[in-house]
């Protein structure tokens, strides 16, 4: 039996893993994963009897029943803790879970949920790490996080979180490097103490600005969305910049990986709920998608990408015009 931490590789996921590490104070293994790959990774890297912590990983609209079934099986023998803040699948019912501690609340970062849950067993420095994660997910203005700010200078926290965010973004699949960052955070290092992280953050900022300038010549604009294929940089950042460059409600940055189109989507706040739309239409095209209302991810077969974009453009238009969009979702 061992302790396994399954987490996302962004700031919120890394900060949450650091908080769990500070709490358990034992040997553990960290596995970086994502919604579409969680079920596969659970089968590959864990077994009955392991203590599991799943952090900042949305339940995939297609595979969530099998994921929950497996976790409930594991929970019969040992502890299974699931911390997340993403909207749950459309037909998911938290009240029917067995053998899983499912700590969930949309609108708060996973870092906040973990810190609040274990706050009596964490040192004061853990609050600083929780703030890094919350800032990284634009969720640092909740009542709980505002209380944590009272212990720290906000300008310093934003500076450190910015280094961590940019440095991690520049290290997308460098999982050993991210594990080393978690270890250093647990040991009391500030992000600004870590030379390699600073270097990566500076380089990331330079590349991001170059990418932003290139987008003007690569953008494709539909009625309600704008997209770019292979922006040669951060998909999430590119999607955000597309909104400003196009004036559309949604920006989409797309990367081809084999036969799959991997997408990051951003929406202008108040216009649409990407999570609802993607969880509805992506499975219709043998894909999966979801996340937050204004920031989501999606993947579909690349040969159906144009079909997906047309369908999504239409759905966004319907959403903007309708005042009661949930009526369009089949029960």
Write out pLDDT tens, residues 279-291: 999 999 999 998 8
Q: Specify the CATH number for 3-200; select among 3.90.1640.30, 3.40.50.970, 2.40.128.110, 3.30.1180.10.
A: 3.90.1640.30
Tens-digit pLDDT profile for residues 27-44: 999 999 999 899 999 999
- 38: CB partners within 8 A, 6+ apart: 6, 54, 57, 59, 60, 63, 67
Tens-digit pLDDT profile for residues 182-197: 999 999 999 999 999 9
Report the pLDDT value the prediction gives residue 324, as an integer from 0 to 100.
45
Alpha helices in 138-194 (DSSP H): 143-149, 154-169, 175-186
**pLDDT at residue 1 greater than cutoff 80:** no
Q: Long-range contacts made by residues 201-209, C-beta under 8 angstroms, separation at least 24?
A: 201/162, 201/163, 201/164, 201/165, 201/166, 201/167, 201/170, 202/166, 203/170, 204/166, 204/167, 204/169, 204/170, 204/234, 205/166, 207/170, 207/233, 208/166, 208/233, 208/234, 208/237
Report the pLDDT value the prediction gives residue 327, as an integer from 0 to 100.
44
- What is the pTM for the complete model shown? 0.88
Please report, rounded to a whole number, the percentage of residues in the chain having pLDDT higher than 90.
Answer: 88
Instruction: Report the chain's terminal Cα–Cα distance, integer Å.
Output: 41
Report the pLDDT value the prediction gives residue 96, as an integer from 0 to 100.
80
Tens-digit pLDDT profile for residues 204-230: 999 999 999 999 999 999 999 999 999
Report the pLDDT value the prediction gives residue 323, as an integer from 0 to 100.
45
Q: Long-range contacts made by residues 314-319, C-beta under 8 angstroms, separation at least 24?
A: 315/277, 315/280, 315/281, 316/224, 316/225, 316/249, 316/250, 316/271, 316/272, 316/277, 317/223, 317/224, 319/272, 319/273, 319/276, 319/277
* Ranges of each domain in the chain: 3-200, 216-328
**pLDDT at residue 118 greater than cutoff 80:** yes
User: 216-328: which CATH topology?
Assistant: Diaminopimelate Epimerase; Chain A, domain 1 (3.10.310)
């Amino acid at each position: 039996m061992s302790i396994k931490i399954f987490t996302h590789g962004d700031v919120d996921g890394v900060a949450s893993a650091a908080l769990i590490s500070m709490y358990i104070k034992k040997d553990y293994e960290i596995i970086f994963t994502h919604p579409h790959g969680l079920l596969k990774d659970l089968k590959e890297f864990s077994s009955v009897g392991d203590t599991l912590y799943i952090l900042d990983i949305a339940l995939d609209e297609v595979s969530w029943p099998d994921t929950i079934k497996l976790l409930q099986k594991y929970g019969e023998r040992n502890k299974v803790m699931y911390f997340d803040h993403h909207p749950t699948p459309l037909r998911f019912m938290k009240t029917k879970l067995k053998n899983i501690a499912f700590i969930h609340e949309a609108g708060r970062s996973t870092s906040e949920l973990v810190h609040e849950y274990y706050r009596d067993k964490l040192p004061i420095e853990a609050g600083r790490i929780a703030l890094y994660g919350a800032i990284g997910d634009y969720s640092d203005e909740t009542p709980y996080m505002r209380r944590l700010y009272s212990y720290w200078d906000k300008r310093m926290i934003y500076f450190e979180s910015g280094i961590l965010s940019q440095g991690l973004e520049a290290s997308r699949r460098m999982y050993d490097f991210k594990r080393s960052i978690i270890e250093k955070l647990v040991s009391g290092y500030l992000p600004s103490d870590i030379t390699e992280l600073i270097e990566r953050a500076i380089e990331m900022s330079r590349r991001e600005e170059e990418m932003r300038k290139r987008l003007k010549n690569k953008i494709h604009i539909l009625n309600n969305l704008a997209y770019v294929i292979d922006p040669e940089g951060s998909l999430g950042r590119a999607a955000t910049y597309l909104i400003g460059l196009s004036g559309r409600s949604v920006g989409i940055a797309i990367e081809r990986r084999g036969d799959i189109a991997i997408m990051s989507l951003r929406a202008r706040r108040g216009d649409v709920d990407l999570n609802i739309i993607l969880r509805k239409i992506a499975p219709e095209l043998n894909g999966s998608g979801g996340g937050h209302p204004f920031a989501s991810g999606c993947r579909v077969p690349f040969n159906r990408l144009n079909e997906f974009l047309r369908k999504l453009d239409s759905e966004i238009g319907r959403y903007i015009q309708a005042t009661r969009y949930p009526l369009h979702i089949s029960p």
